[in-house]
Amino acid sequence: MTTATLLASGGGSAAAAGAELTAGGDSASLAVFARRELVDVAALAPELAALAVEPVTVLAQGPIGRPPIDNVPRAQASSIEEPPIVIVVEVTVNGTASGQLLTMDQYADGRYAAIAEELRALRIKLPPFVQAREKVELSDYGIAVQYDEPRQKVSLDVPLALLETHNVELGGRNAEVNLDAVKPTPGFVANYSLYGSIEAGSKLLSGNTELLALTRIGVFSSSTQFSLAQGASGSNGSFTRLDTSFRHIDPVAIRSVTLGDFNSNALAWNGSVRMAGLQIASAFEQRPDLVTTPLPEFSGAAVLPSTLDLYVGQQRVYSGEVPSGPFDLKSLPSMAGGNVRLVATDITGRQVEITKSYYFNPMLLRKGLLQYSIDAGVPRLDYGTKSFSYDKVLFLAGSARYGINDLTTVDAHAEASTDGLVNLGGGLSRTVAGFAAVTGSAAYGSYDGNSGWI
């Protein structure tokens, strides 16, 4: 009889703490004593009996039938090694307490992994293909981890390039309006003004009226003027209708539709036309919560958590803290112009000062903002003296302004009429170097055989 003892170490149901081989005559049996189960491999006895002639001890690094872990690729070895320990800890990013908890996997070899959506909540940039619940190994992105086990805290040292920009709204923009709560209120409004005079031998009374009917679909309005005079030669009076219209405003689309009398919207370099017809235009004046002109902004980056102090002239208009990483100060308070100074003081006391010139240009629109007007109708004649005097030609006009960026705004205008009038033009307005504005425009016109440029 021959007995062989095999000692093995490793994990899994096939890993054994010891094995004993007994061979004698024509039969042999091999019993493997595992941590979880007893595996009978008597069918292997003939092959093993031929090799086992003397007692022999075999030491193995891993489970029977598997290669040593050192020779297994990392992806495969991760399924063999001990499972990670799950920890939930307070997290600090580059010295700034986040006030958030982070769920992490702690591996025996010192590696750490965390859930992608929790890392993004800490302003850490990850590739878009990384799923929200996917585990991310922090060392793969150059993020160093210091784990304070007694305090259950983790400090992450994140490269600045991996941090999302921290935005600070300074309140230059008005508070947002809940448009769902804005409901039209039916009503009636009467406005009037009177003027009277008495002189030797004459008396005069004149006035203006405006009547408004407020409905759920829009506003009906009509305005008039009148005058009464009495003198030595007798009495006379006049009554003239000025404007009559219906206007509907959509606050969500920021659009107004006017039917009746109106003035066509014009740019800075062309005139408007008083007309009757249809007008579709943007209605930013009906949204006081929207600021159409660009407001000054500051951008920078803080290596350490810092305190920012913002000065306009010699007056401090903002003081607050920012975490480490890039930051943007947005919507600085409106001002006519001048120097804006930013002082950043980090936690070590080191100060960095930035001064930027700012010039307010009312001709500019914020980046991406479009302002427009489309007018169609007949021109009004003898306004103020006759109630119903209109031209017989159809007049069309269109204007548009667009903010290419916060420094440059372009505009365009076109006019045409059924009697042969054509006007086309465009312009540009730009702030230069923070202390000046440049505005230019050009237009071409043609009417009744005459044409020219301006």
Q: What is the pLDDT of residues 113-136, one digit of tens each?
A: 999 999 999 989 999 999 999 999
Q: Which residue has the higher pLDDT, 7 or 137?
A: 137
Model confidence at 43, pLDDT cuts 50, 70, 90, reads: low
The per-residue pLDDT for 403 is: 94
pTM: 0.61
Report whether 258 contacts 278 (CB < 8 A): yes
Residue 418 sits at the vertex; the CA angle it makes with 388 and 280, to the nearest 5 degrees, is 70
Q: What is the pLDDT of residues 80-98, one digit of tens each?
A: 568 899 999 999 998 888 8
Mean pLDDT of 295-319: 80
The per-residue pLDDT for 26 is: 41
Is it the case that residue 7 has pLDDT exceeding 80? no
CATH architecture of 294-359: Sandwich (2.60)
The per-residue pLDDT for 318 is: 80
Residue 48 phi/psi, 5° resolution? Answer: -70, -35
Is it the case that residue 305 has pLDDT exceeding 60? yes
As a whole number of angstroms, the distance between CA 170 and CA 308 comes to 12
Report whether 248 contacts 235 (CB < 8 A): no
Domain spans, the chain: 2-72, 85-164, 183-250, 294-359
As a whole number of angstroms, the distance between CA 436 and CA 312 comes to 18
Model confidence at 167, pLDDT cuts 50, 70, 90, reads: confident
The per-residue pLDDT for 80 is: 56
The per-residue pLDDT for 401 is: 96
- β-pairing, 202-214 vs 351-359, is unpaired
As a whole number of angstroms, the distance between CA 248 and CA 250 comes to 7
Is it the case that residue 264 has pLDDT exceeding 90? yes
Q: What is the pLDDT of residues 391-404, one digit of tens each?
A: 999 999 999 999 99
The per-residue pLDDT for 244 is: 96
The per-residue pLDDT for 36 is: 39
Residue 398 sits at the vertex; the CA angle it makes with 396 and 399, to the nearest 5 degrees, is 155
Is it the case that residue 434 has pLDDT exceeding 80? no
Tokens 């405003």, residue?
A: 249
146, two tokens: 């210091």
Q: Among 6-15, 323-332, 421-430, where is mean pLDDT lowest?
A: 6-15
The per-residue pLDDT for 56 is: 42
Listed as own residue / partner, the contacts of 403-411 with beta carbons closer than 8 Å and 24 or more positions apart are 403/294, 403/364, 403/365, 403/366, 403/367, 403/368, 403/369, 403/370, 404/367, 405/367, 406/294, 406/297, 406/364, 406/366, 406/367, 407/294, 407/364, 407/431, 408/364, 409/363, 409/364, 409/365, 411/267, 411/441
Model confidence at 47, pLDDT cuts 50, 70, 90, reads: low
Q: Give the E-state strand segments of 107-181 in sequence order.
A: 112-115, 135-137, 144-148, 153-157, 166-169
Q: Homologous superfamily of 85-164 in CATH?
A: PapC, N-terminal domain (3.10.20.410)
Mean pLDDT of 293-305: 78
Q: Is 448 left (phi over 0), alpha (psi -120 to 50) or beta?
A: left
The per-residue pLDDT for 352 is: 85
Model confidence at 185, pLDDT cuts 50, 70, 90, reads: confident
Q: What is the pLDDT of residues 216-255, one digit of tens each?
A: 999 999 999 999 988 877 888 899 999 999 999 998 889 9
Closest CA to 33 of 48, 14, 60: 14
CA-CA-CA-CA torsion sign (248, 186, 210, 224): positive
Residue 195 sits at the vertex; the CA angle it makes with 189 and 201, to the nearest 5 degrees, is 150
241, two tokens: 């209708």
Is it the case that residue 442 has pLDDT exceeding 80? yes
Is it the case that residue 58 has pLDDT exceeding 60? no
Average pLDDT, the chain: 80
Is it the case that residue 298 has pLDDT exceeding 70? yes
Q: Is 434 left (phi over 0), alpha (psi -120 to 50) or beta?
A: left
How many C-beta neighbours within 10 Å does residue 394 have? 15
The per-residue pLDDT for 176 is: 65
Mean pLDDT of 250-268: 92
